[in-house]
A and B are shown apart, each in its own frame.
Chain A
Amino acid sequence: MLALPAAVFACLLFLVPVMILLSEAFRMDGSWSLQGYVDFFAKPLNRTVFLRTLKLGVLVAGTAAIIGYAAAFCIVNLPARTRGGVFGLVVLPLMISPVARTYAWIVILGRTGIVNNAIVGLGLSDTPVRLLFTETAVFLGLLQLFLPLMIISLVSAMENIPRDAIPAARVLGASWVQVFFRIILPLTKEGLVVGGTLVFTGALTAYITPAILGGSKVLMLETLLYQRVNVANDFVSASVIAMILIVMSFSANLVLKRLASART
């Protein structure tokens, strides 16, 4: 009874509209068909955007995992007093508007930004280099946006590694590479699955970062969806993209879970 209002609200004002939207691409001229999907993938631009989104998602999640492991390992080994402060600094960006977080990259990568001032100042190039509206800019923005989620997941996973496990392995002659693959990785893989899903899904479904740092030169699925609706009133493409985003998010979670349970 008590849970009913919340469930009804979420159903009526959320699930039902979203479901109708998703079904739209399957309906052509009143009958069910997959034509909307066929048409969508027939366009080279759409395929490029799809593959780019997938690529950036994997790259951002992979890079976040590498940096995340290094940073989380350092944080866990800090003395208790400094640890809270450092962890707080990692979490801090999550509280700040993504618009603000992404806007900073315009200042860094723009024509009169830090990097270009340095390039021109050092005489490496006479004119400013185009750094904004590139995949690199979107990659950096997304990484900065979602790295904290990976670090948080990995820190809480690493806290559960028994204190003596790593020194014991070292004493018994394991190299750091062996320690990582035989002890740290197996014991933190659940954190990696959570962090990886959060970062990958976040990167797939981010709108602001590709909109500001990629513009129409580096479209991703979200910005493509916005463009299709606003410029062309193309709701079939919007529905297809919506379905792709949801399926990709769910499969990322499934695949990572499968990988984690495969190598024990």
Chain B
Amino acid sequence: MQFRNLGSWLILGATLTFLIGPFIIIIFAGASAGNSLAFPPEGLSLKWYLKVFTVESFRASFVLSMGLAIFGTLAALVLGVPAAYALNRYKLPGDEMIRTIVAAPIIVPGIIVGLALLRYLVVPLNFTVTVALFFAHTALILPYAVRVVSSSLNNLRSDMEEAAVLLGCSRVQAFFKVVLPNIRGGVLSAFILGFVTSFNQVPVSLFLSGPGVRTLPIDMLSYMEITYDPSVAALSALLAFMSVAIVFAAERLLGFSRYV
């Protein structure tokens, strides 16, 4: 028995080293005092972590990525919450069809979505790249929004809102006064999942970038093609901390993992 325990810790240890180890390495590689990317780093310093904040293109692309992640997710929720509610509570004609359509963006590879939007929205219809990016990110988050909100609606019995309607609420009032407060956790979890997904998204944004319009991950990709210094490692480490902190806080406050 003792031996089996040792064996399973070895397996878990190896797996976790493979999964987590690279981040530890990247944190240290970013903290190098030298000028080239190396591990072990040539002395420790925070200069690359500080330099990241002074790179103009990183600042601009960070703002764009933040904006896309926040407003794209909000738009996806505005579309997704009513859709999830309708699909969950009413027997709709063609609801399977609607489910499939709404879930489609998850199945189609992102690079194709980006290319399709560039070819048929941006070029012929004169959409700006930023608007196309916003649409693409909204479409991409929509399936997550619908799924997460649906699963929290599943746990909410429908007799509560029936009672509210019997007591004189309109359907809309019942939704805002009874349903929405009860699925708050699910909606917030959907927001966080959508935010993280959108912020880290690359393939969709690949073709949708113009002069001065680049999401942060795309900007990092093109930066590392030109420069081989530790600043991308430092930035990667900072972004990793940000994502982990957001998800960790969400788990503590909302029990995020129940919904996802």
Q: Please report A residues at the B interface, Cβ cutoff 8 Å.
A: 1-3, 5-7, 9-11, 13-18, 20-21, 67, 70-71, 73-75, 77-78, 86, 89-93, 95-101, 103-108, 110, 112-114, 117, 143-144, 147-148, 151, 204-205, 207-208, 211-212, 222, 225-226, 229, 235, 238, 242, 245-246, 249-250
Contact B86–A2 (Cβ < 8 Å): yes
Given contacts A100-B240, A106-B37, A114-B39, contact A86 B82 (CB under 8 A): no
User: In chain B between 20 and 38, which residues have their CB closer than 8 angstroms to a CB of chain A?
Assistant: 20, 22-23, 25-26, 29, 36-38
Do B111 and A207 touch across chains, with their CB atoms under 8 A apart? yes
Residue from B37, B142, B203 in contact with A9 in the complex, judged by beta carbons closer than 8 Å:
B142
CA distance A9 to B40 in the complex (A): 50
Contact yes or no, B115 A229, CB < 8 A: yes
Interchain CA distance A91-B36 in the complex, whole Å: 31
User: Which residues between 62 and 79 of chain B lie within 8 Å of chain A, taking CB atoms?
Assistant: 79
B85 located at the interface, meaning its Cβ lies under 8 Å from any Cβ of chain A in the complex: yes
B8 CB-CB contact with A under 8 Å:
yes
Q: How far is the CB of B82 from chain A (nearest CB, A)?
A: 4
Q: Are B83 and A113 in contact (CB under 8 A)?
A: no
Can you report 8 A-B residue pairs in the complex whose CB atoms are below 8 A from each other?
A2-B86, A7-B101, A20-B119, A74-B11, A100-B237, A147-B19, A205-B203, A207-B206
Contact A96 B240 (CB under 8 A): yes
A24 CB to nearest chain B CB (Å): 9
Q: How far apart sit A148 and B22, CA to CA, in the bound complex (Å)? A: 14
In the complex, the answer to whether B109 meets A246 with C-beta atoms within 8 Å is yes
Chain B residues near A75 (CB, 8 Å)? 12
Binding-face segment, B47-55, B157-165, B180-188, B217-225: B217-225
Chain B positions within 8 Å of A14 at CB level: 104-105, 108, 113, 139
Q: B200 touching A212 by the CB < 8 A rule?
A: no
CB atoms of A242 and B112 under 8 A apart: yes
| Shortest beta-carbon contacts, A-B, top 8 | A104-B22, A100-B236, A2-B86, A17-B116, A6-B83, A74-B8, A205-B109, A2-B82
Given that A21-B120, A104-B23, A117-B39 are known contacts, is A99 also in contact with B83, CB under 8 Å in the complex?
Answer: no
Q: Are A144's CB and B16's CB within 8 A?
A: no
A-contact bits for B92-112, CB 8 A (1 contact / 0 none)? 100100100110110111111
- Specify the chain B residue showing the minimal Cβ separation from A105: B22
Q: How far is the CB of A161 from chain B (nearest CB, A)?
A: 16
A3 touches B83 (CB 8 A): yes
Q: Is the beta-carbon distance between B112 and A245 smaller than 8 angstroms?
A: yes
Is A96 a contact partner of B23 (Cβ separation < 8 A)? Answer: yes
Assess the A103–B233 pair: CB atoms within 8 A. Answer: yes
The answer to whether B60 has its CB under 8 Å from any CB of chain A is no
Give min CB distance, A28 to chain B, whole Å.
Answer: 17
Asked if B146 is at the interface (CB within 8 A of a chain A CB), the reply is yes
Q: A13-B121, A104-B26, A205-B203 are in contact. Are A96 and B243 (CB under 8 A)?
A: yes
Additional A-B contact list (16), CB under 8 Å, known A3-B98, A97-B239: A6-B83, A10-B139, A13-B136, A18-B112, A20-B116, A20-B119, A67-B15, A93-B19, A99-B220, A100-B237, A103-B233, A106-B37, A110-B38, A147-B19, A205-B109, A212-B221
| B23 vs chain A, min Cβ distance (A) | 7
Q: How far is the CB of A106 from chain B (nearest CB, A)?
A: 7
Complex CA distance for A114 and B22, rounded to whole angstroms? 11
8 Å CB contacts to A: which residues of B180-236? 196, 199-200, 202-203, 206-207, 217, 220-221, 224, 232-233, 236
